[in-house]
Amino acid sequence: MAMHAVTFVPSTESIAGSTVLSALVGILPLVAFFFMLGVFKLKTHWCALGSLVIALAIAVFGFYMPIPMAINSALFGTAFGIMPILYIVIAAVWLYNLTVFSGRDQDVRAVFSAVGKGDMRIQALLLGFSFCGLLEGLAGFGAPVAIVAAMLVSLGISPIKAALVTMVGNAINVGFGAMAIPITTAGKIGGVAATDVANTASSMTPWVIILIPFLLLFILDGGRGVRQLWHIGLLQGLVTALGHFVAAHFVSYELTAVFASLLGFAVVAGALVVLNPTTPEDWRSEVKEEAAPSASRLTLALMPYWLVVIIFSIAKLWTFGFNVPEALAKTTIAIEWPGLYGSLLTSSGEASSAAILGIQTLANPGTMIVITALIVSAVYGANSSERFKFSFGRGISVLFNTIHSLRWSLLTIALVMALAYVMNFSGQTAAIGAALAATGSAFAFLSPILGWIGTAVTGSATSANALFASLQSTAATGANLDPHILLSANSIGGGLGKIVSPQNLAIAATAIAKPGSEAEILRKAAPFSAGLLLVLCLLTFLATQGVIPIVQ
């Protein structure tokens, strides 16, 4: 093994030997980010850069991380931000833009207008909760927010409301996102079976899921929306909640979000065949008065969305005759980051595996979206007409237009990921977690906050579980609590934290074509994130007391 001149072991007691003081100092970069964004209303990339500088200073002078390693941590985070996060965001927005630049977005609106009985609020429920949950279960990593928020805007939903509906509607499925990678990670690092974590989580999520459609209706149309469409929201919530429980317990926990979201979409769409909701004039679908699109036009208009589901399903699920997920996984490249791997050590003195950058190539959700976009570009080009003029070359030019339009958002996301990894590798995030875990039996109530903070910082529930799963499990043992409940709370709380994650804010602002709106989105989204977190904290406490039944 190669010898390294400088090594570093992150400590949760770096500030005056105190975990509490270390946590208070460690959380300053995150506080600074939201303060600059919400109070001073600085552009998000400046907020991220300022917070990164603060995190670097704290890492070096407060947590005693060598300067080269601190800078290297930022570079590692930037690399992770580029691959897979930026790759996925660019691909997702490009895919959506193909419908716009081809002129087929009007046909998409016509489809959802028909399914949703011409009520944009119902269309928003189907897209923002069910379809977004489906994409989250298959892809994750920001793709659902990027695709669905843009779709909602195209349907006529105001941009800020479109962002809020997507982010709040997406949150509860994040823990089961990307084929339940966060749950798998929680089980692996927490030292318990992932299936048991999934069963516990799916016994808790239904209580939150039932609330989500009502929150979305309130975001869209206040009390009037809830009064007029409560029966639609209740049906969607109950069916999706049931889908979560059934999928995790009796189907496959990896398919929880996919199964539940499809079930919710199908049942609500079927019920709308006989239901006739009251729709105010200001919420009627704005579809141009013309002949209804033909079946072929509808198929082409929706092609980006049904094709991306098919491609993701094959990539994630196909094992008949040939194991596609296994073959794609083998294309992942693991890079032992120079200057970090072997120098960044765990508390036991071993090289931290966190310093290995895994670059997914064919298995990357971004690659699957790119393949979808290339096929769509070719098909749209082959079906070009006077009304829908398009060519494959035009599709490629849309990609470059997309990258140019996203340039500031892409910079923001890269800087946010650099900030996250400086905080992670220096021990700042771990110190925050350790301080919360030291609260003893009260930790049953505070447990979800760890997952919330982890995802708020990193933008990833998987990363939040990687950071805190071991701590959750250890704290549970020390406080005589069920580790499955705390690991589940970490995963679900992570999804709620994603609502206010700087990375998610930047993706949403980009998707709705309103760069710089992150502060406004944050102000309006934060109360929903905090409120749902409080509900989850109470549920977690009640579950540890046996009041909420947990079915394994």
Whether pLDDT at 214 is above 90: yes
Average pLDDT over residues 532-551: 93
- The residues, ordered by sequence, that sit 6+ positions from 79 with a Cβ below 8 Å of its Cβ are 337, 357
The residue type found at 297 is: R
d(CA 161, CA 260): 24
Going by the DSSP 8-state scheme, the letter that residue 294 receives in this structure is: P
Rounded Cα distance between 183 and 238, Å, is: 23
Tell me, what's the pLDDT at 2? 43
Only one residue has tokens 């406490």, namely 541
Examine the pLDDT at 80 and tell me if it is beyond 90: no
Taking the CA atoms of 299, 304, 310 and 314 in sequence, report the sign of the dihedral they define: positive
- Whether the Cβ atoms of residue 535 and residue 208 lie closer than 8 Å to each other: yes
Distance (Å, whole) CA 357 – CA 79 = 8
Nearest-angstrom CA–CA distance, 431 and 354: 17
Reading the block at residue 537, the tokens are: 């904290």
* Band (137; pLDDT cuts 50, 70, 90): confident
Residue 288 pLDDT: 56
Report whether 391 contacts 425 (CB < 8 A): no
Residue 228's pLDDT band (boundaries 50, 70, 90)?
A: very high
pLDDT tens, 511-524?
898 888 998 999 99
Listed by start position, the domains of the chain span: 19-544
Instruction: Show the CA angle centred on residue 361, arms to residues 74 and 327, nearest 5°.
Output: 135
Nearest to 182 by CA among 426, 518, 550, 490: 490
pLDDT of residue 96: 79
Contact 140, 175 (CB under 8 A): no
Q: What are the structure tokens assigned to 330, written together? A: 């083998």
Please check the confidence at residue 290 and state whether its pLDDT lies above 70: no
Which residues, 6+ apart, have CB-to-CB distance to 196 below 8 Å? 187, 484, 552
Q: How far is CA 82 from the centre of its chain?
A: 16
Q: How confident is residue 3, by pLDDT bands cut at 50, 70 and 90?
A: very low
Whether residue 289 has pLDDT greater than 60: no
Residue type, 308: V
> Which residue type occupies 547?
V
pTM score, whole prediction: 0.78
Percent with pLDDT over 70 in the chain: 98
Whole-Å CA distances, 219 to 134, 206, 223, 531? 21, 21, 9, 14
State phi, psi for 413 to the nearest 5 degrees.
-60, -40
Question: Which residue stretches of 302-364 are H helix?
Answer: 303-317, 324-329
What number is the average pLDDT over the span 362-386? 92
Residue 177 · residue 140 · CB < 8 Å: yes
For residue 377 the two structure tokens come to: 């570009």
Q: How confident is the model at residue 363 (pLDDT cuts 50, 70, 90)?
A: confident
The mean pLDDT of the chain is 88
Instruction: Supply the pLDDT for residue 208.
Output: 97
Short-list 76, 134, 86, CA closest to 366: 86
**pLDDT tens sequence across 480-512:** 889 999 999 999 999 999 999 988 998 899 889
Give the DSSP letter of residue 341.
Answer: B
Q: In terms of DSSP H, where are the helices of 345-442?
A: 365-382, 392-405, 407-426, 428-437
Asked which of 222-236, 256-270, 385-399, 454-468 is least confident by mean pLDDT, the reply is 454-468
Residue type, position 510, single letter? T
Q: Is 334 exposed, middle or buried (0-12, 13-18, 19+ CB in 10 A)?
A: exposed
Per-residue b or e along 280-304, where b marks 16 or more CB atoms closer than 10 Å to that residue's CB: eeebebebeeeeebeeebbebbbbb
- Compute the average pLDDT of residues 186-194: 83
Report which of 399, 468, 499 is spatially closest to residue 173, judged by C-alpha positions: 499
Q: Is 369 helix (H, G, I), strand (E, B) or coil?
A: helix
Please answer whether residues 175 and 183 qualify as being in contact, where contact means their C-beta atoms are separated by less than 8 angstroms.
yes
The two tokens of residue 448 are 């979800």
Task: Kindly tell me if the per-residue pLDDT of 287 is higher than 60.
Answer: no
User: pLDDT band at residue 370, thresholds of 50, 70 and 90?
Assistant: very high
**And the tokens for 50?**
């300022």
Q: For tokens 């379809």, name the residue.
A: 131
Does 440 score more than 80 pLDDT? no
pLDDT surpassing 80 at residue 22: yes
Q: Is the pLDDT of residue 195 over 60?
A: yes
- Place 343 in a pLDDT band, splitting at 50, 70 and 90: very high
Helix (H) or strand (E) holding 475: helix 461-478
